[in-house]
Amino acid sequence: MEEDIKKVGDNKKHKYFKEMTMEELKDLPLSELNSCLLELFREKSSQLSPAQVLSQFRESRFVKLSDIDPFTLRETEINWLKIASGYNFLPVELSPLTPLGTCSVLAHVDQNNIVSAIRGTEVVSDATNVLALQLAVDFKHNSDKHFIQKYATVHRHVRGQTTDNPKFSAHFSTFCMASGGYDTGNNGFELDQLHDHLSAIYNILKRHFNDDQLALRFYLKKDSDSFREKLVEAREKIWSDINYEFIDDRNHEYYQLIQFKVFVKKDKEEYNLADGGFVDWTQKLLSNQKHRCMISGIGIELFHRI
């Protein structure tokens, strides 16, 4: 099929594509599909009037202005990145786009919940997935068992799924962290990175909320019993000032080993403001079961709304 397409002139390709079935389109190489979509969107945009563009701007939930004060938002983003850098997380600025499949391939998120784009890309819906890609690049040719890379970023996410909660919107700013390194035995990497991620998060949140407003919960995944014991043993060293509870959650496959959530209690309501855990994304990307990756995040705009 690819050879047949190459024989068709560029000015006739769109007609050729128009006659193809969905199955044939699905089997196209990504570069050829991009050609089809570029032509399709070029023709579609040429049919639009200024009034139609304005109408779409008024009505689409994907393009509405944020209701958070931009000065406050930027100050928060900078302050939180500075706190993360104190725990050796390297602040980085990400592109608004990432390769197609960044979330659905790595984390099994439905692609319909992602704003897919052309040229083999999608709009970033979760910066932690993008940071995992960067970690895989960092470790692709690095076999140093003691090398650890840690990133932090703030990013405006866009997500396709709808929500009835007025505190959530189609696009929103999120603070994210990710760590990568090799298994050093006895869950050393996991305990150290869990400590760093949670320490940074609690350092951030305790500047705005009292201790009695914060609740930490660990959600146990498959094969996490021995790690739970090590976590309890480490309490006096790294968890002595944080109250937490364990919850069995073995059926959820997004996180591996353990997940944490930090809740904020305000006005008799409880909000899940931060979460994180271990994922197998870099293991897939590197084809190396010894690699470890931890991610976490805080909803910046949800933080401001509550």
Beta-strand relationship, 121-123 and 171-182: unpaired
Nearest alpha-carbon partner for 151 in 171, 127, 121:
127
Structure confidence at residue 156 (pLDDT): 95
Nearest alpha-carbon partner for 209 in 274, 265, 260, 261:
265
Q: What is the pLDDT of residues 245-295, one digit of tens each?
A: 899 887 777 899 999 999 999 888 999 999 999 999 999 999 999 999 999
Please say whether the structural domain 70-305 has been given the CATH code 3.40.50.300: no
pLDDT class of 8 with cuts at 50, 70, 90:
very low
Domain residue extents for the chain:
2-47, 70-305
SS3 state of residue 199? helix
Q: What is the pLDDT of residues 214-253, one digit of tens each?
A: 999 999 998 888 888 888 887 666 666 777 889 988 777 7
pLDDT over 70 (residue 150): yes
Contact 298, 276 (CB under 8 A): no
SS3 state of residue 153? strand
pLDDT over 90 (residue 182): yes
pLDDT over 70 (residue 206): yes
Q: Name the burial class of residue 131, with classes exposed (0-12), middle (13-18) and buried (19+) by CB atoms within 10 angstroms of its CB.
A: buried
Average pLDDT on 190-209 reads 94
Going from the C-alpha of 78 to that of each of 85, 125, 153, the distances in angstroms are: 11, 21, 10
Structure confidence at residue 12 (pLDDT): 52
Structure confidence at residue 5 (pLDDT): 46
Q: What is the pLDDT of residues 10-42, one digit of tens each?
A: 555 555 566 677 777 778 888 888 888 888 888
Nearest alpha-carbon partner for 41 in 125, 118, 94, 108:
118
